[in-house]
């Protein structure tokens, strides 16, 4: 039987690209915060920025239970409520070599949504009832594998680090503006670049963080296919989401000029499906595809065709 999977060379290239872009993005974010701190307050500004970063990383890492219960108002699921869903998540976690299986939460939002949160030792994945009951088993497997890939690749920590660096940059910029208003440029050596940096740095840090988020979505998609061996499941899920609730959930692609897409947290559905198409190769054999009811026992399902192939 002909099966499809992600090209190992493509996956390796995406991993190298993500490591490089992540390192460069985080370096630029740290340098922006350091530059503002130095120009605004000298060595004391660097010390303050480092302390803020350390504090944010130490106290900003919340376990999944706190994030989902307090932030989303979600309820934690148990194997008695959704045995099929737990069986799927357990198998995906085993294939991903996660130290622990993520906890499952039912989100109260009415949309089709899945999200990963928490820390590596206490991760969690939240899903909405609409998502679970709308997608087919293969599509649901692709979506959950995508979230497992985020945990596997360390995206929870990377994006938290980027968000902390961006927040520190904004805080440093606000402090720099206050210094200029109270004491003028003479208080920081009258550096001519400081006013421009205070204006540009916060926006640049936000754009870098959003770009990093979009890039890591592509790797999570490829990683999901690596775990399931079923690129058509994830591609079909993405197309279903687009058909039912549209791609422009951030209201940034179809409204206004095209440059607004730089403020998106996710690539467009078309871009993600195209990336999956380019990364797909024919293999024999492939990993079995999970199929079954998320609320009941696991059952086999017939093969499905790739949505982009005829």
For 130-159, what is the mean pLDDT? 93
Mean pLDDT of the chain: 80
- Domain assignment present for residue 304? The answer is no
**pLDDT for the residue 281:** 76
- Domain assignment present for residue 216? The answer is yes
Is 150's pLDDT higher than 50? Answer: yes
For 159-184, what is the mean pLDDT? 77
Total tally of structural domains belonging to the chain: 1
* 111-120, 123-132, 148-157, 169-178: least confidently modelled range: 169-178
- Asked whether 5 and 225 are in contact (CB, 8 A), the reply is yes
**pLDDT for the residue 309:** 43
Is 287's pLDDT higher than 60? Answer: no
Residue 89 in 3-state DSSP? helix
List, in sequence order, every residue forming a beta bridge with 282; answer none if it has no partner.
Answer: 4
pLDDT tier at 161, thresholds 50, 70, 90 = confident
Q: Rounded to a whole number, what is the distance in angstroms from the first to the last CA of the chain?
A: 17
**pLDDT for the residue 116:** 94
Is 172's pLDDT higher than 90? Answer: no
**pLDDT for the residue 310:** 38
Q: Tell me the C-alpha to C-alpha distance, in Å, between residue 77 and each of 128, 210, 283, 297, 298.
A: 11, 31, 36, 16, 17
The DSSP bridge pattern shows strands 123-128 and 280-283 to be unpaired
- Domain assignment present for residue 33? The answer is yes
- Domain assignment present for residue 306? The answer is no
Is 185's pLDDT higher than 60? Answer: no
Alpha-carbon distance of 146 to 160, in angstroms, equals 18
Is 158's pLDDT higher than 70? Answer: yes
Given the residues 139, 147, 217, 226, the one annotated as active site: 147
- Percent of the chain topping pLDDT 70: 76
Highest mean pLDDT (candidates 68-72, 189-193, 294-298): 68-72
**pLDDT for the residue 190:** 46
Residue 147 bears catalytic tag: yes
* 34 closest CA partner among 137, 42, 84: 42
- Domain assignment present for residue 139? The answer is yes
Is 50's pLDDT higher than 80? Answer: no
Alpha-carbon distance of 90 to 93, in angstroms, equals 5
Alpha-carbon distance of 244 to 221, in angstroms, equals 20
Within 8 A by CB and 6+ apart from 29, the residues are 162, 165, 166, 169, 205, 208, 209
pLDDT one-digit tens code per residue, 187-222: 545 456 677 778 888 888 889 888 888 889 998 999
Within 8 A by CB and 6+ apart from 121, the residues are 99, 100
- Percent of the chain topping pLDDT 90: 27
- Asked whether 136 and 129 are in contact (CB, 8 A), the reply is no
- Domain assignment present for residue 299? The answer is no
**pLDDT for the residue 61:** 66
**pLDDT for the residue 251:** 54
Place of tokens 């902390």: 164
**Structural domain boundaries enclosing 271:** 3-283
- Domain assignment present for residue 241? The answer is yes
- Domain assignment present for residue 290? The answer is no
């Amino acid at each position: 039987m002909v099966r499809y999977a992600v090209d190992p060379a493509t996956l390796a290239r995406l991993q190298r690209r993500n490591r490089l872009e992540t390192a460069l993005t985080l370096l630029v974010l740290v340098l922006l915060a350091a530059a503002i701190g130095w120009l605004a307050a000298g060595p004391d500004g660097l010390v303050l920025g480092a302390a803020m970063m350390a504090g944010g990383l130490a106290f900003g890492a919340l376990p999944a239970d706190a994030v989902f219960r307090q932030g989303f108002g979600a309820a934690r699921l148990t194997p008695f409520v959704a045995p099929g869903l737990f069986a799927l998540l357990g198998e995906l976690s085993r294939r991903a070599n996660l130290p622990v299986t993520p906890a499952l939460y039912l989100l109260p939002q009415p949309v089709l949504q899945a999200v990963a949160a928490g820390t590596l030792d206490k991760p969690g994945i939240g899903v909405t009832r609409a998502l679970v009951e709308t997608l087919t088993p293969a599509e649901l497997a692709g979506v959950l594998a995508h979230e497992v890939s985020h945990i596997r690749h360390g995206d929870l920590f990377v994006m938290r680090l980027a968000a902390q660096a961006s927040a520190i940059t904004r805080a440093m910029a606000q402090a720099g503006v206050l210094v200029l208003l109270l004491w003028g440029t003479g208080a920081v050596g009258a550096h001519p670049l400081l006013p421009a940096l205070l204006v540009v740095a916060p926006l640049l840090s936000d754009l870098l963080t959003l770009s990093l988020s979009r890039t890591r979505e592509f790797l999570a998609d490829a990683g999901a296919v690596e775990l399931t061996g079923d690129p058509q499941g994830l591609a079909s899920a993405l197309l279903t989401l687009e058909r039912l609730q549209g791609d422009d959930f951030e209201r940034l692609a179809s409204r206004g000029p095209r440059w607004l897409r730089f403020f998106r947290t996710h690539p467009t559905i078309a871009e993600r499906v195209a990336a999956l198409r380019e990364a797909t190769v024919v293999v024999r054999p492939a990993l079995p595809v999970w199929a079954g009811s998320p609320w009941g026992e696991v059952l086999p399902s017939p093969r499905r065709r790739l949505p982009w192939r005829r």
